[in-house]
Amino acid sequence: MIITPVALRTFLAAQTPLTAITGDRLWAAATNPPAGYKPAMGPGIAFNGRGGSLGYENVIVTESTQFKCYAANALATLELYGVLVDVLHDRSGGAVRHAELESTGYVLQEPETGWFFALTYFSILYGSGLGRQ
């Protein structure tokens, strides 16, 4: 069975327009940045699956994924969100068979730190590694 956060991070890390902004700050299976991160270090994206299902004779996993795009200010979070949409919506590659924006991004602030982030969700279809391939 595929490990979806690993597959998604591999896909995102290959997207030059995104990594030109985030560097290696793509945090898989995470709902928040790692300990020690501060927005002054540069923009980053924490993402984590919210659950999904197997379909098409167990060949496809469909999963809803939450993305939190962190940056120094509200507008910068929306710019990062826009690049994420550009590289992920209606795209495919590797184990990612198709991705579709579920919810447009909106800006929030972390209550404990005051950090800005843009919150969005995608529905992502993966090759499962099961069933008839």
State the pLDDT at residue 51. Answer: 75
pLDDT digits (tens, 9 = 90+) for 23-54: 999 999 999 999 999 999 999 999 999 877 66
Pairing of strands 44-55, 26-28: parallel
Domain assignment present for 133: no
Tell which residue, 82, 83, 96, has the closest CA to residue 6.
96
Residue 102: CATH number of its domain: 3.30.2000.10
Residue span of the structural domain in which 85 resides: 4-127
Domain assignment present for 132: no
Instruction: Please give the tally of structural domains in the chain.
Output: 1
Domain assignment present for 106: yes
24-42 burial, b if ≥16 CB within 10 A, otherwise e? ebbbbebebbeeebebeee
Domain assignment present for 22: yes
What rounded mean pLDDT belongs to the chain? 93
Q: Which residue has the tokens 């902004």?
A: 21
CA dist list (Å): 94 to 2, 67, 78, 98, 119: 12, 20, 27, 10, 25
- Is the pTM value of this prediction over 0.85? yes
Domain assignment present for 108: yes
